[in-house]
A and B are shown apart, each in its own frame.
Chain A
């Protein structure tokens, strides 16, 4: 075998066979090592990387950071940037919730904001969006969460435009210059797998605790998709449109400004939608670094186990998310429509006129009627206590108790914990070999090598056990999500109507900030291991179902018809035709489920875990930047390994099936 792969031509003769064989060899080696460990034959140094062999990554990173921070004067620069950002944030804070800062105008009455949201909704998507827009703000005010929501919004309205502008600029650069593109791509994919805690601490250190750090972390988090969508949109501008611009004598700048950017409108607006949604998800999470707002409120309510209030806040966050998503998506599809000749100016701008008038009217009204400006804690309609009792009585129902009890007792004790212990019992080198075998089998030699390097680095980080526990949570949650989600998706994909419904539900669920997925988990299972798995599971199930339905629905009709003509039963058709063809798309969904799970597992640290997330969360309290990065990179390296291998497989498979 070794000789074969040295002699290149012979090795290439049967690549698939060779690949599988190598995978089996790797797996066998892993098994041998594990058995040796069980028999007590393995020296301790081969079981785990000994403490003494762990390179001092964290202190090294710390030194590097300190060098950049102090010696290169980055800190001075960022502190200077902070001032500017701080000033903008103060303005929005004053306007939205009346923080005592310049321009000392606020707070804008909630009625005025709700009215404007209604008009914007109407402009973008008719009555339904108008109702949604106004309704969400009315709900927020009535339930007594106006101030929290506005604290969140005051950061969002700064971070989202900032992320948009930076993303657009970098996107244009990456499209113009191949070198920028090549440099950005790996950074982007790493950024997208880096756990969010890793964004938070540097933000705190460089930009001080509070809204500024929150805004910076949020902005950085939301930039990557904007870059990708901008480049994509610019590349897709039809050649003839560009040539028409050139023939019109446009200069380079005119081409960009008047031809490229407007023609890439759709993709850029899709980017805007993603920026807004990511900003919202992140701004809620900045609660972990003490940013006030809905996230902080939710965190403290869950911490003190006030489930009713948590539930209400969760609903508010979800409603805000749905509203922002629907509105920005409506903007994507909104096409300009001409006005008949001779239409007066104010008829052409009716929405602007009505919006302004309503806004002014409610601002004036707010001067005289207090409730139109602010609804105090006493006057709100919050039903926290009542919902608490409802939840408690629901959980007390025998059937419910039996189910949760069974899940806790059986699934957790009989399956999950043994699985975890098994993973922990595998010696580190064996584990790495097994991962390499997996990568070899699905991806190929390159993927196997990268997997080995990545997991090797994790082993050297000194956080192996916690990494394995993180991986265990991710794998078991995704496995259970697949067990539940796949049959559901397959069943739904059989009818057009159900597919549509379930896709809509998934799309909606995907817009929820990840934080709210903790609420049902804690409600049902309290502060337990199974709550962690449960929250990851529901979060990861969404892409799994989505892509499965999509994969099955987009199997070309002629192929299923051919199966029908061959007299296949529905079952045969599913197994022999539809599933194999849908598999590459499903794999993409599976991959996304894994990425979501890696993201969620860190958030779930809040519930109390023994994994990397827990340690990461701890670093936030101090200034352990080096350790924070090492932990974050452990998560990112594991996530990237899966990402690399599965996407490679999906791509190969798609090409082999001619589905490109």
Chain B
């Protein structure tokens, strides 16, 4: 574990069944998901080791039931893990006492839930202020702070509404506001934008990125939407049957899928949009002429790639040259020939 990593999961297992720990202890290594199911257990999370660095956005993807929500619940100890350890900033949270765990959640963690989890009898403002109230903050201070975050998510004027009086998208924004109220360092988001219409979703993503630039939190973000993942992710983890198939940058996942499943999962993705000049650049190549920026995607460079005649195009990151990109490789990606 590097000192940079905020969340570190090591060989984490989460089994659902009558006696998960006992079963896990007696189970031989490498048992498959289906074999475990045949024994009467569901492997919600299967032997996952993953680290998330400070300020990083990790996006988790996978089909429905692949264990995304379960994994995130293990990170926040909403689920007790059946095996392995989860450390937050170097402390094993499985070993925390109830008091310390509550303290950790009160000071460091925020979570947005897939189906909102709002308290039906509280107004928007009271819901948002709930974590502050649990901390014992005084009425005036928590009202101030709650108003601030409610404004941040664009729900001004609805402070006194009850959840039932809001649309799905608005309810989700209350959930987001609540999770931000305590200014958490670590932010878990379980499909936070799935209830929003495309326009607002786009707006919220921009808002989210803006917030992230400002606050630079450590974020674990679950989504079903590959486009969303691409816009937000530093790294993407793809899950299947409780296990992580691959965890890498988007370019890496598209260019070098680790398993056939990942390849199939990313099959329909428009690679030209995912792959950046930086990941195609080779140190050993040198190119001539006007360089391109490492952050430009192949699609961004489409016109130039087609018109240019150079075999290798120099690439710079933050102004410094990092190598050159073979033009034919980029062209292959552009026409979908890889």
Residues of A within 8 A of B (CB): 238, 240-252, 254, 258-259, 262-263, 265, 335-339, 341
Question: Is the pair B118, A248 in contact by a Cβ cutoff of 8 Å?
Answer: no
Nearest opposing residue in chain B for A255, CB measure: B134
Does B290 belong to the interface (CB within 8 Å)? no
User: What is the CA–CA distance of A259 and B118 in the complex, to the nearest angstrom?
Assistant: 10
Residues of B within 8 Å of A240, CB to CB, are 113-117
Nearest opposing residue in chain B for A265, CB measure: B121
Pick the contact of B109: A241, A247, A252, A335 (CB < 8 A).
A247
Residues of A within 8 Å of B157, CB to CB, are 341
Pick the contact of A341: B113, B118, B160 (CB < 8 A).
B160
Q: Mark B155-167, 1 if CB is under 8 A from A, else 0.
A: 0010111101100
Given contacts A238-B115, A243-B73, contact A250 B121 (CB under 8 A): no
Residues of A within 8 Å of B123, CB to CB, are 338
* Further pairs besides A238-B117, A335-B164, A338-B162: 8, Cβ < 8 Å: A240-B114, A241-B120, A244-B117, A249-B103, A249-B131, A254-B134, A258-B119, A258-B133
Question: Is the pair B117, A338 in contact by a Cβ cutoff of 8 Å?
Answer: no
Residues of B within 8 Å of A245, CB to CB, are 119, 130
Does B78 belong to the interface (CB within 8 Å)? yes
| Contact residues on B (Cβ < 8 Å of other chain), bracket | 35 or more
Residues of A within 8 Å of B103, CB to CB, are 249
* Closest chain A CB from B65 CB (angstroms): 16
Does B106 belong to the interface (CB within 8 Å)? yes
Does B58 belong to the interface (CB within 8 Å)? no
Residues of B within 8 Å of A337, CB to CB, are 162, 165
Question: Is the pair A247, B76 in contact by a Cβ cutoff of 8 Å?
Answer: yes
Pick the contact of A338: B102, B106, B133, B160 (CB < 8 A).
B160
The listed residue with most B CB atoms (<10 A of its CB), out of A240, A248, A263, A341, is A248
28 pairs, CB–CB < 8 Å, chain A vs chain B: A238-B117, A240-B113, A240-B114, A240-B117, A241-B117, A241-B118, A242-B117, A244-B113, A244-B175, A244-B178, A246-B105, A247-B105, A247-B179, A248-B131, A249-B102, A249-B105, A249-B106, A250-B134, A251-B102, A254-B134, A258-B130, A262-B119, A262-B120, A263-B121, A265-B121, A335-B164, A338-B162, A341-B159
User: What is the CA–CA distance of A259 and B119 in the complex, to the nearest angstrom?
Assistant: 7
Nearest opposing residue in chain A for B188, CB measure: A247
* Closest chain B CB from A509 CB (angstroms): 33
Question: Is the pair B110, A244 in contact by a Cβ cutoff of 8 Å?
Answer: no
Residues of B within 8 Å of A338, CB to CB, are 123, 160-162, 165
Nearest opposing residue in chain A for B121, CB measure: A262
Does B224 belong to the interface (CB within 8 Å)? no
Does B210 belong to the interface (CB within 8 Å)? no
Does B135 belong to the interface (CB within 8 Å)? yes
Residues of B within 8 Å of A254, CB to CB, are 134
* Closest chain B CB from A233 CB (angstroms): 13
Residues of A within 8 Å of B110, CB to CB, are 247
Residues of A within 8 Å of B117, CB to CB, are 238, 240-244
User: What is the CA–CA distance of A263 and B164 in the complex, to the nearest angstrom?
Assistant: 13
Pick the contact of A248: B98, B134, B160 (CB < 8 A).
B134
Nearest opposing residue in chain B for A340, CB measure: B160
Residues of B within 8 Å of A336, CB to CB, are 121, 162
Does B229 belong to the interface (CB within 8 Å)? no
Does B111 belong to the interface (CB within 8 Å)? yes
